[in-house]
Chain A
């Protein structure tokens, strides 16, 4: 009972209620070789779980999924992601070149995210095809010596490069 390794495994059992560990834990107390293998196996398993968590923290990806008309004077540019967009108090902003657009509608359904930005038709028509586009959560402030592109590649900056405007995506 005083074996610290056994105590450690018992703790895992008690807190996580993994039934098979109960019998293994007794084996461990009396069979150190087996126990070493078990520990190695656990380390491998934990590493795998950790790797999954790291993968889970990868930066959300966002893209322009459609461009369409809404009424006569408005174009809707839809930004999509396979994950929810954060719902908070700041504002999602769509940058097209030097222009910034904030009027939007956010839809989070079934784990995926959509933001529809409403752009004046005239602005859209006046924008040069191929202009770089970015999405940010909150005001985008680029530190000295950094480009927007580089900033948006940062893992934990709420800014996403959306590629270049392709006017051919506009549905009639």
Chain B
């Protein structure tokens, strides 16, 4: 039962690594190098009809393989669960013809699709994981006759197996014991689980994550991979790290609809701290990720899905074409193994050293993937803590006003505008499908629009303004966005490039060409058919540090200057400032006015991870105060040099237990009152209500000679009035937001922060 693959595989990878490192200089550790642990494979099979699931009209099989580190020293080990997709379930043992039925009739044997990921299971087990791969034939046999397509049943099947394992893991009497013995008792860490579902299994593991959550999260699902998935039901998964893998030459789920697991969840929950990734594998098809579905690797039911459905003659995806760029079966498995390992080892195992591969900080694919920069592209959407949206491009409003509530402008473009993203917004003109990129959008899912930009002159540009409070980019790692060629408006086969500029408050400009930082502006390949070329957005990330010659603490505009080609057309989305992944590290602060002079007390209300070592740097935006303009105190006070509006910033620095230093900065304007010093009003009974206010305030307890002033967040006085009566009507033109009320009396002043809700 014990098989030792490790040393031979490691040797082969070493050979490959030696060869490929001569061609590419990769800086990130390779996640696809096999681990050092010997691996054992076991299997349990409780019968073809052992699993009764609520949402399946007939019972399913309870069968799975288990790969684990042979020595089982230490532990418990994090768990990876694999769920295969829809495929023929049985084959004739004489003719080897395949069919869909369950259980298999006489003369036929089951097709063991769940064994098709053994290569990946062995790999992960060699790194200290226990990998469970579940058979799903019963659901596949009947799911097309169910309106649910069997997705709830798939979710329940995964939970059923976890329940089985959980019971076994405690040492109680278990039906698994005859198959696994007792050596694995207590070895499953069911609070650190990663799941991978292929094809319909991809949507299945999303259903499982939601099902597990609905049950109160008895198991800790930390990471989900959807591999060439379907997304029939458009379920949105937030709160768990997710990676979608899209094979460009997928002939089965050919519209790559599973990218919606990434897209639909981006802005559906703005508090979501979980990252999501999308990996586009240009030469991959649907089936070769599973060896049981791959011709030459199994006895029945195999096919090259692209060739079977779209023919082998296509110039890019058809294997009979001399110009095809298809991965061979070895490469496709290596590519999956490498990226899946990076993802699981990072989000389940906490090995953050692989982050650059998944966050587009390192564009060179891992050597073990056998890929180069021309045939794999990555998208990365950081969680809330690591991302500050400049322009989400999720509503029509974002054509002229960005997510930071600042101006969006353009000049000279042939056309520009939001497309897709809602039933009332025109589609982007490439596809009429709502299932694939570019998005057509639905009425119910936020964030599915994109911006089309078409140019024909080197002076054409598109620009987003940055507000005062966020102009300091010295704390930001990169600017990033996603983009794709709008190929139907471009010269066939021609890749594009353009310039990204940062412009500071003095008007100084720093420029970077996209192509110096990304390969994402490629013309999508393939002779035109109903399925090719395929549009898919990929992340372009440009480090802020590369923009030199400007004051990066006062950046006011982000500009796209289309000066690198005579003409072109692109679609963009997700324009944001990003920081490297730092978990929950986020700065936040509050303040209160002291009772004398211009003193203000500040309070850090930090949000960091347990075990982080924290340091603080405050900038009060008050250069006249000299060296007192900064402070490293936790909760400092500052005496402002004069009245006015100041931009105060807190930079929080958190050193993670693994040594990684994470920073976050939050800036905000405060109003330090002009004229007289602030004094307390002893025994004051003045109250200002309601708060939030809509169209008036009542200032109770003031004298008829007292004066009220209202300031906006920019420090601009928007209202001044002598209090002849308690009611103060708020001007109708004031937008919703935070305001500062100052009531001046003969005895001193009182300050209140209020919110106006229109």
Residues of A within 8 A of B (CB): 57, 84, 86-92, 102-111, 118, 137-139, 141-143, 151, 154-158
By a CB distance below 8 angstroms, the chain B residues around A88 are 86-87, 199, 252-253, 286, 305, 309
In the complex, what's the smallest C-beta–C-beta distance from B198 to chain A, in angstroms? 9
- B457 in the interface (beta carbon within 8 A): no
CB-based closest 6 A-B pairs = A156-B311, A89-B199, A88-B252, A89-B86, A156-B310, A87-B88
Question: A142 CA to B87 CA in the complex, in Å?
Answer: 27
By a CB distance below 8 angstroms, the chain A residues around B238 are none
Given contacts A141-B432, A154-B530, contact A108 B99 (CB under 8 A): yes
By a CB distance below 8 angstroms, the chain A residues around B144 are 91-92, 102-106
Question: A138 CA to B230 CA in the complex, in Å?
Answer: 11
Question: A102 CA to B144 CA in the complex, in Å?
Answer: 8
Contact B301 A104 (CB under 8 A): no
- B597 in the interface (beta carbon within 8 A): no
Q: How many residues of B contact A (CB 8 A)?
A: 41
By a CB distance below 8 angstroms, the chain A residues around B314 are 156
In the complex, what's the smallest C-beta–C-beta distance from B100 to chain A, in angstroms? 6
Contact B99 A138 (CB under 8 A): no
Question: A104 CA to B144 CA in the complex, in Å?
Answer: 5
- B97 in the interface (beta carbon within 8 A): yes
- In chain B, what residue has the closest Cβ to A118? B145
Contact B100 A138 (CB under 8 A): no
Contact B100 A156 (CB under 8 A): no
Pick the contact of A104: B145, B228, B252, B308 (CB < 8 A). Answer: B145
Contact B100 A111 (CB under 8 A): no
Question: A116 CA to B254 CA in the complex, in Å?
Answer: 23
Question: A104 CA to B141 CA in the complex, in Å?
Answer: 11
Contact B145 A87 (CB under 8 A): no
Contact B100 A57 (CB under 8 A): no
In the complex, what's the smallest C-beta–C-beta distance from B202 to chain A, in angstroms? 9
- In chain A, what residue has the closest Cβ to B149? A91
Contact A138 B86 (CB under 8 A): no
By a CB distance below 8 angstroms, the chain B residues around A103 are 144-147
Residue from A104, A109, A137, A141 whose CB has the most chain B CB atoms within 10 Å = A141
Question: A162 CA to B228 CA in the complex, in Å?
Answer: 30
Pick the contact of A143: B149, B252, B530 (CB < 8 A). Answer: B530
Question: A105 CA to B88 CA in the complex, in Å?
Answer: 13
Contact B254 A151 (CB under 8 A): no
Question: A108 CA to B105 CA in the complex, in Å?
Answer: 13
Contact B97 A138 (CB under 8 A): no
Question: A16 CA to B431 CA in the complex, in Å?
Answer: 48
Interface string of B422-441 (1 = CB under 8 A from A): 00000000011101000000
By a CB distance below 8 angstroms, the chain B residues around A139 are 255, 433, 435
In the complex, what's the smallest C-beta–C-beta distance from A90 to chain B, in angstroms? 6
Contact A87 B87 (CB under 8 A): yes
The contact sample of 9 A-B pairs, CB cut-off 8 A, is A89-B286, A90-B254, A103-B145, A103-B147, A108-B100, A118-B145, A141-B433, A156-B529, A158-B310
Contact A90 B431 (CB under 8 A): no
Pick the contact of B253: A90, A105, A111, A155 (CB < 8 A). Answer: A90
Interface string of B286-301 (1 = CB under 8 A from A): 1000000000000001
Residue from A138, A151, A154 whose CB has the most chain B CB atoms within 10 Å = A138
- B19 in the interface (beta carbon within 8 A): no
Given contacts A87-B87, A103-B145, A110-B97, contact A57 B311 (CB under 8 A): yes
Contact B431 A141 (CB under 8 A): yes
By a CB distance below 8 angstroms, the chain B residues around A137 are 309
- In chain A, what residue has the closest Cβ to B306? A156
- B365 in the interface (beta carbon within 8 A): no
Question: A84 CA to B91 CA in the complex, in Å?
Answer: 13
By a CB distance below 8 angstroms, the chain A residues around B435 are 139
By a CB distance below 8 angstroms, the chain B residues around A110 are 95, 97
Contact A138 B254 (CB under 8 A): yes
By a CB distance below 8 angstroms, the chain B residues around A86 are 252, 303, 305, 308-309
Question: A154 CA to B530 CA in the complex, in Å?
Answer: 10
Residue from B98, B286, B529, B530 whose CB has the most chain A CB atoms within 10 Å = B530
- B85 in the interface (beta carbon within 8 A): yes
Question: A6 CA to B661 CA in the complex, in Å?
Answer: 70
In the complex, what's the smallest C-beta–C-beta distance from A93 to chain B, in angstroms? 11
In the complex, what's the smallest C-beta–C-beta distance from A83 to chain B, in angstroms? 11
Pick the contact of A87: B86, B311, B433, B530 (CB < 8 A). Answer: B86
By a CB distance below 8 angstroms, the chain A residues around B88 are 87, 108
Interface string of B134-172 (1 = CB under 8 A from A): 000000001011110100000000000000000000000
Pick the contact of B530: A89, A92, A102, A157 (CB < 8 A). Answer: A157
- B591 in the interface (beta carbon within 8 A): no
Question: A86 CA to B232 CA in the complex, in Å?
Answer: 19
- In chain B, what residue has the closest Cβ to A143? B530
Contact B100 A87 (CB under 8 A): yes
- B239 in the interface (beta carbon within 8 A): no
- B533 in the interface (beta carbon within 8 A): no
Pick the contact of B301: A87, A105, A109, A138 (CB < 8 A). Answer: A87
In the complex, what's the smallest C-beta–C-beta distance from A82 to chain B, in angstroms? 14
Question: A172 CA to B301 CA in the complex, in Å?
Answer: 37
Q: Which of B217-244 contact A (CB under 8 A)?
A: 228, 230, 232
By a CB distance below 8 angstroms, the chain B residues around A104 are 144-145
- B208 in the interface (beta carbon within 8 A): no
Contact A90 B230 (CB under 8 A): yes
Additional 6 contacts, C-beta under 8 A, given A108-B88, A151-B530: A92-B144, A108-B99, A110-B95, A138-B253, A142-B432, A143-B530
By a CB distance below 8 angstroms, the chain A residues around B67 are none
In the complex, what's the smallest C-beta–C-beta distance from A155 to chain B, in angstroms? 6
By a CB distance below 8 angstroms, the chain A residues around B97 are 84, 108, 110-111
In the complex, what's the smallest C-beta–C-beta distance from A115 to chain B, in angstroms? 9
- B63 in the interface (beta carbon within 8 A): no
Contact A141 B530 (CB under 8 A): yes
By a CB distance below 8 angstroms, the chain B residues around A156 are 309-311, 313-314, 529
By a CB distance below 8 angstroms, the chain B residues around A90 are 230, 252-254
By a CB distance below 8 angstroms, the chain A residues around B432 are 141-142
Question: A154 CA to B310 CA in the complex, in Å?
Answer: 10
Question: A83 CA to B433 CA in the complex, in Å?
Answer: 29
By a CB distance below 8 angstroms, the chain A residues around B266 are none
Question: A143 CA to B432 CA in the complex, in Å?
Answer: 9
In the complex, what's the smallest C-beta–C-beta distance from A94 to chain B, in angstroms? 12
- B200 in the interface (beta carbon within 8 A): yes
- In chain A, what residue has the closest Cβ to B254? A138
By a CB distance below 8 angstroms, the chain A residues around B301 are 87
Given contacts A111-B97, A141-B431, contact A155 B286 (CB under 8 A): no
By a CB distance below 8 angstroms, the chain A residues around B85 are 89
By a CB distance below 8 angstroms, the chain A residues around B311 are 57, 155-156
- In chain B, what residue has the closest Cβ to A115? B144
- In chain B, what residue has the closest Cβ to A146? B530
By a CB distance below 8 angstroms, the chain A residues around B310 are 156-158
Question: A158 CA to B529 CA in the complex, in Å?
Answer: 12
- In chain B, what residue has the closest Cβ to A89? B199
By a CB distance below 8 angstroms, the chain A residues around B431 are 141
Question: A102 CA to B200 CA in the complex, in Å?
Answer: 16
Question: A138 CA to B231 CA in the complex, in Å?
Answer: 12
By a CB distance below 8 angstroms, the chain A residues around B98 are 84, 87, 108
In the complex, what's the smallest C-beta–C-beta distance from B480 to chain A, in angstroms? 31
Question: A111 CA to B98 CA in the complex, in Å?
Answer: 9
By a CB distance below 8 angstroms, the chain A residues around B303 are 86
Question: A84 CA to B99 CA in the complex, in Å?
Answer: 9
Residue from A89, A108, A139, A156 whose CB has the most chain B CB atoms within 10 Å = A89
Question: A62 CA to B352 CA in the complex, in Å?
Answer: 53
In the complex, what's the smallest C-beta–C-beta distance from B244 to chain A, in angstroms? 15
Question: A110 CA to B100 CA in the complex, in Å?
Answer: 12
Question: A87 CA to B286 CA in the complex, in Å?
Answer: 13
Contact A158 B309 (CB under 8 A): yes
Pick the contact of A91: B232, B433, B530 (CB < 8 A). Answer: B232
In the complex, what's the smallest C-beta–C-beta distance from A51 to chain B, in angstroms? 15
